[in-house]
């Protein structure tokens, strides 16, 4: 059974069709890459999964850790996050005036319990809960090698470091599925290599299923278990990286020729 299933997913913005009857799935424990030309609908897929966009038709089903089926297309973003779906954004979405540690602690807010009075008193059970959340955050800091940056204000960090902090914040949610939207965008070669290593490490060591979008095909082909290719909101290719790289429909889409060689 896959972790996530998208069936006949359609999304329109006025007269523009972003997704057109898309079928795809994310398998448990895999690193799946979603690629395609600009405007192919890749980020729209992530927006639908995470609840930022409501599809016009079709279903998105998460097979949760509890064995239950969850219809994500009917849920708001905070409910989807609570079910174990975390994401990063193409444009970094951090609290720039806060420190790295404060940003990561905010990532644990869905796991915190207790009312206003309990939180204000900070005694007994509430204190123990806070300590446990802090322990989880400390594990992520150690895993992402962010110890030297923990008390620095995020807005003062280099771009590549902010990318790592955003991924770390997503990890603090303890996700079963991690959605990464252009994690290497704007990075130099060294930063891309470092980011690719972290993605592989979190996937392999933590067993997290990852759905990643990236325009750097070399990075994608190096890290992905499987690749799905979109063009104009439709799936035009799928398979292992080597298979997709040699697929004529994929080559034509990236070179701008019409499907089935109509532009030849």
At 205 the pLDDT is 87
pLDDT digits (tens, 9 = 90+) for 197-210: 989 998 988 889 99
Burial 134-152 (b: 16+ CB within 10 A, else e): eebbeebbeebebeebeee
Nearest to 46 by CA among 71, 64, 69, 72: 72
For residues 189-199, give the mean pLDDT. 89
For residue 130, is it within any domain? Answer: no
Q: What are phi and psi of 119, to 5 degrees?
A: -65, -40
Give the integer Cα–Cα distance in Å for 91 and 12: 22
For residue 176, is it within any domain? Answer: no
For residue 198, is it within any domain? Answer: no
For residue 236, is it within any domain? Answer: yes
At 264 the pLDDT is 32
Contact 220, 193 (CB under 8 A): no
Contact 194, 163 (CB under 8 A): no
Task: Tell me the three-class secondary structure of the chain, residue by residue.
Answer: CCCEEEEEEEEEECCEEEEEEEEEEECCCCEEEEECCCCCCHHHHHHHHHCCCCCCEEEEEEECCCCCEEEHHHCCHHHHHHCCEEECCCCCCCCCCCEHHHHHHHCCHHHCCCCHHHHHHCCHHHHHHHHHHHHHHHHHHHHCCCHHHCCCEHHHCCHHHHHHHHHHHHHCCCCCEEEEECCCCCCCHHHHHHHHHHHHHHHHHHCCEEEEECCCHHHHHHHCCEEEEEECCEEEEEECHHHHHCCHHHHHHHHCCCHHHCCC
Has residue 1 got a pLDDT over 90?
Answer: no
Has residue 19 got a pLDDT over 80?
Answer: yes
The alpha carbons of the chain give a radius of gyration, in whole angstroms, of 19
For residue 27, is it within any domain? Answer: yes
At 263 the pLDDT is 36
Band (pLDDT 50/70/90 cuts) for residue 255 is low
For residue 139, is it within any domain? Answer: no
**Alpha carbon of 45 to those of 8, 28, 155: distances in Å?**
12, 18, 29
Nearest to 29 by CA among 193, 225, 190: 225
% of the chain surpassing 70 pLDDT? 88
Number of structural domains the chain divides into: 1
Mean residue pLDDT across the chain: 86
For residue 39, is it within any domain? Answer: yes
Give the integer Cα–Cα distance in Å for 126 and 140: 22
For residue 76, is it within any domain? Answer: yes
At 256 the pLDDT is 59
Band (pLDDT 50/70/90 cuts) for residue 79 is very high
Instruction: Tell me which residue range forms the domain holding 38.
Output: 1-84+213-264
At 126 the pLDDT is 62
pLDDT digits (tens, 9 = 90+) for 106-148: 887 765 655 444 444 455 566 676 777 788 899 999 999 999 9
Q: What is the CATH number of the domain that holds 55?
A: 3.40.50.300
Give the integer Cα–Cα distance in Å for 230 and 259: 12
Compute CA 33 distance to the chain's CA centroid, rounded to the nearest angstrom: 11
């Amino acid at each position: 059974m896959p972790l996530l299933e998208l069936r006949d997913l359609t999304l329109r913005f006025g007269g523009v069709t972003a997704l057109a009857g898309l079928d795809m799935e994310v398998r448990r424990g895999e690193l799946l890459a979603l690629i395609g030309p600009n405007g192919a609908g890749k980020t729209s897929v992530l927006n639908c999964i995470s609840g930022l966009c409501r599809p016009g038709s079709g279903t998105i089903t998460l097979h949760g850790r509890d064995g239950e089926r969850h219809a994500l297309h009917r849920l708001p973003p905070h409910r989807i996050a609570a079910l174990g779906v975390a994401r990063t954004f193409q444009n970094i979405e951090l609290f720039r005036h806060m420190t790295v540690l404060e940003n990561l602690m905010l990532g644990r807010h869905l796991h915190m319990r207790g009312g206003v009075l309990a939180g204000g008193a900070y005694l007994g059970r509430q204190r123990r809960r806070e300590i446990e959340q802090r322990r989880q955050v400390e594990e992520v800091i150690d895993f992402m090698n962010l110890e030297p940056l923990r008390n620095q204000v995020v807005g003062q960090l280099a771009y590549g470091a902010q990318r790592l902090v955003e991924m770390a914040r997503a990890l603090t949610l303890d996700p079963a599925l991690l959605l990464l939207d252009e994690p290497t965008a704007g990075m130099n070669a060294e930063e891309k290599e470092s980011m690719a290593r972290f993605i592989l490490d979190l996937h392999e060591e933590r067993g997290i299923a990852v759905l990643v979008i990236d325009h750097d095909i070399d990075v994608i082909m190096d890290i992905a278990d499987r690749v799905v290719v979109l063009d104009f909101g439709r799936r035009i290719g799928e398979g292992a990286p080597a298979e997709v790289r040699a697929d004529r429909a994929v080559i034509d889409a990236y070179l701008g020729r019409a499907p089935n060689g109509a532009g030849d």
